[in-house]
A and B are shown apart, each in its own frame.
Chain A
């Protein structure tokens, strides 16, 4: 149980393109979903926390207008990287939890984004 699906797994696109990444909880309802970014050989960096039906809470230094997060249902959250530039190239990972605080976060497989 507790499967999280993330799509796409790999994106290569031109600078200025907007890219949407989907995160779905397949066998549980995810009250809370998290979006992380990880640069090579660095630790996970939390970008934002999203709760179903409300606005996402962004971490300090993360531009909310550039990284649009929508959590429209209990099984789906999306991250849109708007007008992506080469410096946005990274490994983006989502995770989900059923919502009770002691539950572990379950991660999607990640999306490797390369902006040319």
Chain B
């Protein structure tokens, strides 16, 4: 079956760095997406990785290792507004998006 694992919840301190991991087992791979979802709102697109390596976009970076079936989202200089759920999603061989359950990130002052 297809499976995406990410921690249910993480806590970090304002101004710090946090890394949210995602491991996947899917039938084929055509890329991995990270989305941010604030409570009561729809998800917003953060990043897309299809090749191995690190993609940096401001305070957020996303890393992919296809051989390990592994990705992480790195958030630097955390702000209170970064409190949200972070969703990992993989595009499988049929271009179907497989969603993880999301990681709820709690930022403390």
- CB-defined contacts of B50 to chain A, threshold 8 Å: 102
A39 to B63, CA, bound (A): 30
A102 touches B42 (CB 8 A): no
- Chain A nearest CB, measured from B10 CB (Å): 16
Band of interface residues on B: 10 to 19
- CB-defined contacts of A86 to chain B, threshold 8 Å: none
Output the residue of A34, A43, A104, A106 with the most chain B CB within 10 A: A104
Q: B interface vs A, CB < 8 Å?
A: 30-31, 33, 40-45, 48, 50, 87, 91, 95, 97, 99-102
Other CB < 8 Å A-B pairs besides A101-B91, A102-B50, 17 of them?
A34-B97, A43-B87, A43-B100, A43-B101, A44-B43, A44-B87, A46-B97, A46-B99, A104-B33, A105-B33, A105-B97, A107-B42, A107-B43, A108-B42, A109-B41, A109-B42, A112-B40
